[in-house]
A and B are shown apart, each in its own frame.
Chain A
Amino acid sequence: MITELGHFALILALFVAIIQSTIPLIGASRRHIGWMAVGRSCALIGFGLTALAMLSLMHAYVTSDFTVINVIQNSHTDKPLLYKITGVWGNHEGSMLLWVFMLSLCAAAVALFSSNLPPALRARVLAVQGMIAVGFLLFILLTSNPFLRTFPPAPNGQGLNPVLQDPGLAFHPPFLYLGYVGFSVAFAFAVAALIEGRVDAAWARWVRPWTLASWCALTIGIAMGSWWAYYTLGWGGWWFWDPVENASFMPWLVGTALIHSSIVVEKRDTLKSWTILLAIITFSLSLVGTFLVRSGVLTSVHAFATDPERGMFILLLLVTAIGGSLTLYAVRAPSLQGGGLFAPISREGSLVLNNLLLSCGCATVFIGTLYPLFLDAMGGPKLSVGFPFFNRSFVPMMVPMIVAAGVGPMLAWKRGDLLGALQRLWVAYIATALVLLVTFYLTYGGPVMAVLGLGLAAWLFTAVLTELADRVRLFRIPLADSWRRAVNLPRSSYGMSVAHLGLAVSVAGFAASPFAQEAIEILKPGGAIHIAGYEITLEHVDRLPGPNYVADDATIRVTSGGGLVTVMHPERRYFQLQNQTTGETAIRTNLLADLYVALGDADTKGDWTVRVYWKPLVPWIWLGGVIMAFGGMVSLSDRRWRVGVAARAGRRSQQAVPAAGE
């Protein structure tokens, strides 16, 4: 009964979305206030309906209703409650429902927090979001319905893939989707601006908080996925340039570019059409990411053949959304010309360089991900594109960008003084040289590229701090005055510094990975491995029961110089239902390095394969991601972005337009 309620709510949401995507649009073009206001109520009702659908599917999972096909395929009575709930989005149909739910959440947020937006712009933004909702709701209802029933009910479910029964992966999709779907707001604003034919500083201010918030969520989502791979796979890899990862990385790259270019629109009223294009591309890549990952097309083009109906629908949706918005862009963008002039060496110039490199980086990932598929579909040879390709093509583009990120914020708007900026960065040169020399000496004969990478991280880190010190005139004016300046700096400026520091921390984590050490041995209980100054002793392995698995749990004692450091418990878990074994690694971190222990197979004599890795700076990769997202949130808390302020700025600029014409 509750499942049917959810199903009906979803159908009703479709009709509400159809109204949301048409009436406000007509209202906006005819300047009919009442029709425009329909968008707001539709967005709120739509949110209520999709929330109801989401909750009813969760109810079916929690109560293990095995008349629902989706529940049979992905759940089991023995599964822990947490994974019953998160299992809702652990499959294609459920994840699509989560997507639509997030979309309606965003639309409702726009409806609620934009009461000071010009009514026509708000109506158009909500209408565009309604159109996206129509596409997705149709897709769910026609090809991927999670509410379908079967009779007689199955005795029990088939369970969730054990690999997905993990807290890291349980919350990875919601964050990722919040990021993807959040970019739909920027997209809706971009399309609405194209329809209105006007983009100004106020527009950039309205869009920016939404873009920042989605970017933060996507950053956390990607970091979470990578961290999950790290602790799950049993040898500590954290990025594979795998199509599924690339699909989430591409919107992140363009989204990062979008955050930077929208600053130029706001401050200098230029790069308008480029920013609009970035907003469209960011969301388009989010769409591509969602669909291609879930439809399985990325692993093989032949996935289209196995489910042609779904494949055709996806293709149609992508073509309509991306093609439609790009056509509108082609027609309307030329009228967006204008804006402030600037010299190549300037803050604007550095942000253009940032955008150029990030976009090319994204294009590289795009080519590396989709070219093999294209070649395969054309009947060409089958290719693998792995890390050697990306290390040679993507990384060289990011290096100059990171170098420039240290200098760019020191340049003035319009016309910057590069020589002066470079002179003021002397502390950063000394710090970089110091890090390079020390790491080169310590790791003499080791990988040189890794040393250079650490130098790059040191450069960015100290350059950011130098810029901050420069801003408050540290040591050049009395400390009390510097303090006053520091207190009065806008939050967005701190946000930028924090995010750039986070990038530096992550880069150090990436760069240090070749310095890792490993030891893989077959141990009898009582045997020991020596690595990086630690003695790792396998004490004993016990068989322990879990909620829906049995585990071989190893007790491993770690000592250093005779003193006990810690006791670790790596496990191997056997899931009877799926007849599948997963590894549960044990990680001991001191934030400078991880000690990573994984338990392998036992041989016939009862000896165990134990893999131990010592990985310096590896926690910094995700720490940097968290710092970056935190920087985004700090920037988000800037007074300027608060809705009221943006709206007042918007009203001023609106008043300015007719005033000029009078």
Chain B
Amino acid sequence: MRKFVLCMVLLLGALPARGVEPRERLADPALEARARTISGELRCLVCQNESIDESGADLAHDIRILVRERLTAGDTDAQTIQAVVNRYGAFVLLKPPVEPATYVLWFGPPALVMLGLAATGLWLHRRQVAPNETTPLSPDESRRLAGLLRDNEG
């Protein structure tokens, strides 16, 4: 029994903790959980990078309702998201699609790390190979060094 309680607590805990209106919620917990996950990845168009699941704006409310309508009608997650994109445009996706226009966005950062690693490796290698460029001591300095060493010994 304790195990069951723990499981229930953790199952609930696994849900993203965000703000959605109680009246909007679906009776079916599995469907509602899907709706919450989808809502977390859709942007509230009038907010600053808040998802519709987090936002209190009216528009977010409308999209939340739309998502739940589609899910109740039997759409898959992908179909539901597509339905929202069809109505509001790709701007609602908090995760931009991977397409030629976004290659820089998606592949730029890893490419930078690779380039950075390569450049650092090359730099270190060249420095290791480069001859130790120390200018030889001038006669005067040699004399002073010899003097210091003598003092040390004595």
Contacts and interface: CB of A to CB of B under 8 A. Distances in A.
Interface of A: 233-237, 240-244, 299, 341, 343-344, 349, 352, 356-357, 359-360, 363-364, 367-368, 371-372, 375, 380-389, 393-394, 397, 442-447, 513-518, 520-522, 532, 598, 600, 609, 611, 613, 615, 660, 662
B21 to A, nearest CB: 7
B48 A520 contact: no
Contact of B17 (A368, A381, A397, A613): A613
Contacts of A244: 48
Interface string B11-37: 111111111111100000000000000
Contact of A386 (B11, B89, B94, B101): B94
Please indicate which of the listed interface residues B49, B109, B113 has the most CB atoms of chain A within 10 Å of its own CB. Answer: B109
Contact of A240 (B10, B50, B102): B50
Nearest to B93: A384
Given A233-B54, A662-B140, A381 B90 contact: yes
A261 B132 CA distance: 23
Interface stretch (B62-70, B73-81, B116-124, B146-154): B116-124
B59 interface: no
Contacts of A233: 54
Nearest to A241: B49
A660 B41 CA distance: 64
A444 B101 CA distance: 40
B96 A521 contact: no
Interface of B: 7, 9-23, 41, 43, 48-51, 54, 56, 89-96, 101-102, 104-106, 108-110, 112-113, 116-117, 120-121, 124, 127-128, 132, 140-141
Contacts of B109: 360, 363-364, 367, 393-394, 397
B21 A384 contact: no
A368 B20 CA distance: 27
25 contacts: A237-B18, A237-B54, A240-B48, A240-B49, A243-B48, A360-B116, A367-B105, A367-B108, A368-B105, A381-B90, A383-B93, A383-B96, A384-B93, A385-B105, A386-B41, A386-B51, A388-B41, A389-B94, A397-B113, A445-B10, A446-B13, A517-B9, A517-B13, A522-B23, A600-B21
A380 B95 contact: no
Given A368-B105, A442-B10, A660-B141, 14 more contacts: A341-B127, A343-B128, A363-B112, A367-B108, A382-B91, A383-B93, A385-B94, A393-B106, A393-B110, A443-B13, A514-B16, A518-B17, A518-B18, A522-B22
B11 A445 contact: yes
A202 B89 CA distance: 56
Given A234-B56, A244-B48, A609-B22, A388 B14 contact: no
Contacts of A299: 48
A17 B102 CA distance: 44
B96 A609 contact: no
A302 B94 CA distance: 21
Given A244-B48, A386-B43, A445 B7 contact: yes
A344 B17 CA distance: 44
A618 B51 CA distance: 20
A243 B116 CA distance: 25
Nearest to B141: A660
Contacts of A446: 10, 13-14
A384 B49 CA distance: 8
A445 B101 contact: no
Contacts of A447: 14
Nearest to B21: A609
Nearest to B18: A235
Contacts of B54: 233, 235, 237
Nearest to A519: B12
A384 B94 contact: yes
Nearest to A533: B9
A517 B15 CA distance: 7
Given A381-B90, A386-B94, A397-B113, A611 B19 contact: yes
A349 B125 CA distance: 12
A120 to B, nearest CB: 26
A164 to B, nearest CB: 15
Contacts of B91: 382-384
Nearest to B92: A384
B108 A384 contact: no
